[in-house]
Structure 1
Amino acid sequence: MRIDDYSAAKALTEKLKESLPIKARAGKEFLKTLKQKGEDADPDREFEIDFVGYSGDEGGIMCGLKEPNNPESKERYVSSITHLKIDPNHPLASEVQAYQRQRIRKLMLQNEAGFAAELMMIEPAKKKKRGKGFGN
C-alpha cells in the first residue's frame, strides 16, 4: 500500500523549499527521541526548518532543523515533517497539517493490516492419531 501521493508530496516539498526557513516545534515522537538522547525535550522549544526533501514512502517529507535561539550551537536534527508542529501562522500550515493527517492515517492502516495479518496466522492443525475402533 502506498503511503503518499507521490506528486502531491513532491509539490508540497517544493512549496516548502521556497518558503524556508519555517518555524516549528517538536511533536510527540520527536520529543521522545530528544529525551532518549538526553537532550532538552521541552514541547515549547523552537526549531527552524532550513532544509526540506522528499524521501519516499519510507520517511515522507524530511526536514533539517536547527535552533534559531542558540546560534553558537552546531547541533543539527533531521525529522519527518510528520513529527513536527509547523507554525500555525505559516501560509502552508494547513497544507502541511492535511499531509500529516493523511500520512498518519495511512501509516496506521498499514500497521493495522500488518498486525491483523500476524493475528490471522494459523498454525496447521495437528493430525490426530487414528484409533482402531471406538474408545481405543
Structure 2
Amino acid sequence: MKNLLIVAATIALALLSIIFLSPWPVWLGTLAAWVTTGSFCLQVMHIVKNKDTSGLSLGMWAALFFGVSCWTWYGHRMHDVPVMAANGITALLALTVILLKLWHERPMPNPNRRRLVRMPGVILNPRIRRLRPLKVARSERKKGQLTK
C-alpha cells in the first residue's frame, strides 16, 4: 500500500508541475534536472547503506554514464549550463555506482581455504591425508584390525 501511495503522489506531482510550470519552461527544466539528478543520489545512498549491488546491471549503468557524459559535453559545446551541470553531476553519480558495483562484487579470497600453519619442532608429511588415532583399543591391537 505504501508503494502505491508513493507512485500515486509522484504521478500527481508530475502532472501538477507540468500544468503549473508550462508557462515557465526554464523553471520546469530546472525542476526536472534537480529531481532526475536527485534520484541518482538516492541510489548511491542506498548502495552505500546496504553494500549490495547484486540487483544492478553494470551494462545499464555504463550506458547511462556514456549517455550523460555525451550530454555534458553537448551542454559545454552549446554553452548550456543547466544541461551541462545536471548531466555532469549525473555522470559522476553513475560513475560512483559503477565503481561501487565493481568494488562490492570483486573476487574475495575463500575464507574456508586451508592455510599452512608453521609449527616449529613438528615434522609434517604432506602425503598423509588424515591422522591415525593416537589411542587404539587393546582389543583392536591384539586382533590386528588397524585400518590403513
* TM-score bracket relative to the smaller structure: 0.3 to 0.5
TM (norm. structure 1) is 0.33
TM (norm. structure 2) is 0.31
Which is strand-richer, 1 or 2? 1
